[in-house]
Structure 1
Amino acid sequence: MMRRAAAIVIGMCVLLAGCAASPDTTYTSDTVATLQTKVLSVTDAAASGDPESALARLDELQATLLDEFARGTVDQARFDSISAAIDLVRADLDLLISEQASDDETEPTPSNTDKPGKPDKPGKPGKDD
């Protein structure tokens, strides 16, 4: 599971790189700041071990990206690059969520008769005679 988290962090780095400023005049510093803030919220949620929240933040990032693209503040090439990174991170988060769900299903539930940590009491000498 740690490798999956590392892959998500790498994906976040790709997202941040895609959201970095460039000499493109349509890509304003406000747009850069907005997208980077959204990426950081995804990263924070993933780093805190909450992939469901990270996925919700990723949805917000995608909605913001679509909005900025519609406004013309993100060009087609950057939109495609960031969208591809979002798709990769989404796949990793979905896999992490499904792995956590399957781990939850396979964990044994303790029964009332099992008392972990308490050894069986040996019979007292002379009792069984």
Structure 2
Amino acid sequence: MNIHEFYGEDPRRRDSAEVPFGDGWTDQRDVHSTYRLNWVADTGEIYAVREPHPGGILARYLDQLDVDQPDVSDLTVEILATARRGTVEEALAGWPAVMGEHNSLRWAREQLLAIRPAGATRPG
């Protein structure tokens, strides 16, 4: 699903506070993109958004300069886990040091696999 569909699918996502977990994650299978991770307070979801280059910080800078940005359909979302904030923070402890490494999104996915399935914990 794209980012527009993600927010439209559950109205709680649209108004919720979010906690960022970086916007420079990489995937060796998609070397022309970066990913950003955010945790949604009202749903407990941590998700990754694919940002085709230019993405992340560079995309926000180019937006200020009025440079064309990727189409919303290119901003695809993957829900990685659903858990309380503390559980996500514990699973991703040390993430700033890992994010800049090659194929870092794989590490994040593996760390979050240990989190209990959706519904097993309550967000908050």
TM value normalised by structure 1? 0.28
| TM-score, length of structure 2 as denominator length | 0.29
Higher normalized strand content (fraction of residues): 2
Indicate the structure (1 or 2) with the bigger Cα radius of gyration.
1
